[in-house]
Amino acid sequence: MRTGFAGRWDPLQKNSWSGIYYSTYQEIKKYSEVEVFHYKWPWYIREQLILHKQVQKLRHKKVAVEFLRTYAKWFSRQLEKDMRTARLDILFVPAAPQLIAYCKTSVPVIFMTDATFQQIQGYYDSFDNLAPYNISQGIELDKLAFQKAAHCMLASDWAKRSAIRDYGIPEDKITVAPFGANFDIIPGPDEVKKEKNRICQLLFLGVEWERKGGQIALDTFYALQRKGVPAHLTIIGCIPPVPVTDKDITVIPFIDRHNTEEAKRLYDITRDSDFLLLPTRAECAGIVFCEASAFGVPSITTNTGGVSTNVQDGINGFALPPEATATDYAEKIEELFFDDAAYRQLSKNSRKKFEEELNWEHWGKTFYGIAQKILNK
């Protein structure tokens, strides 16, 4: 089997789309020869798009340039040109509807993404208050990509529901395939957490403080303190907007996962945590939940977006309602922390869910099964 990998980023770079490009590329290579199609903007397209942004800024509107028809048509044409001479059986396109929306090819496409453009309007801040023409063009090209695909690999049931409801995609053309953990080293069974700590170790891991619910996580820590629960909160990836001086809070603004020493530090912190506390306000999927489960660390998070596909109540954590307060989060953590049997089972089930579903090997087997089914037709 020969597979084309067409994307907006370079799959040979470990940080491309939070590591998802690199991980999917490595899995596909196990089953197929892979040819990469990766393009950069020409200067005249870039200048046109900058002009779009400046004009809309004067009107107090945002522009998601990658969802403009001009952008999509240029990239679709480049891929279409290359596809005429490429000898491929399957074309894999991850999170790049722009490349296939206006591309004519007879090669069957497996399209992968974690959300539809339709459903993220106003959901993520970056897609809030977009210019009306940007929204209509974005929905048009995104819908075309879904419709042209021979099969859609979606990261969550949330994305699947939108594809069916908003774009009219048949259910049998969709497979929900969760992402995996993007740690270079995955802990073996002997390294997985088995017992909780004497002091409840909470881990908040995220780059965007507000979107990831940083203030709720901080307030949850203080609520646990008021309850007399011994706790320590480690914040990784961002800096709280208000100075934090509590001795039981550690702030690590940035960790480079691709630096050996820093990656080891993140590995150790995750392994030694009792809970991943992430009261996220908006989340399409969440690689971090897969990573926590790999270590047997339960996630306490929010039932929003695609989270419930990766975090199942009572299995590898709990996803509280979006309106849940810091007090609600603290009560759930306190309940689990002081119930040894319940915590032990939750930790065990977290690792099991990782081994059965939330890993890249499982994703790779799913991809191969879909490709074979398409080719056998």
Q: Which domain holds residue 58?
A: 2-180+359-376
130 lies in the same domain as 229:
no
Residues of the chain under the 50 pLDDT cut = none
What's the number of domains the chain is made of? 2
Contact 307, 155 (CB under 8 A): no
Torsional sign, CA 229, 308, 99, 33: positive
Residues 8 and 83 in one domain: yes
Query: How high is the pLDDT of residue 72?
Result: 94
For residue 112, the cross-strand partners are 94, 153
What integer pLDDT is reported at residue 255 of this predicted model?
A: 94
> Are 175 and 164 within one domain?
yes
The pLDDT value recorded for residue 44 is 75
Asked if 28 and 167 sit in the same domain, the reply is yes
pLDDT of residue 223: 98
Q: What is the dihedral of CA 8, 169, 116, 308, to 10 degrees?
A: -120
Indicate if 176 and 195 belong to the same structural domain.
no
State the pLDDT at residue 90: 98
For 345, residues 6+ apart whose C-beta sits below 8 A from its C-beta are none
* pLDDT of the residue at 264: 94
Query: Cα separation of 15 and 238, whole Å?
Result: 17
41 with 175, same domain: the answer is yes
Which pLDDT does position 190 carry in this prediction? 81
pLDDT at residue 283, rounded to an integer: 97
Which pLDDT tens digit goes with each residue over 221-258?
A: 999 999 999 999 999 999 999 889 999 999 999 999 88
Same domain, 209 and 168: no
Q: What is the pTM of this model?
A: 0.94
What is residue 49's predicted lDDT score, i.e. its pLDDT? 77
- pLDDT tens digits, one per residue of 272-292: 999 999 999 999 999 999 999
CATH number at residue 85: 3.40.50.2000
Residues 30 and 9 in one domain: yes
Question: Are residues 200 and 341 both part of a single domain?
Answer: yes
- Regarding whether 193 and 173 lie in a shared domain, the answer is no
Q: Are 223 and 329 in contact (CB under 8 A)?
A: yes
Instruction: Give the bridge partners for 37, in sequence order.
Output: 6
- Within 10 A of 249 (CB to CB), how many other CB atoms are there? 18
Q: Examine the domain organization and report whether 114 and 217 are in the same domain.
A: no
Do 286 and 344 lie in one domain? The reply is yes
Q: For the chain, what percentages of helix, strand and coil (3-state, to nearest 5) are there? A: 45, 15, 40
What pLDDT was estimated at residue 107? 97
Token reading at 210: 């507000």
Q: Are strands 151-154 and 200-205 parallel, antiparallel or unpaired?
A: unpaired
pLDDT of res. 218: 97
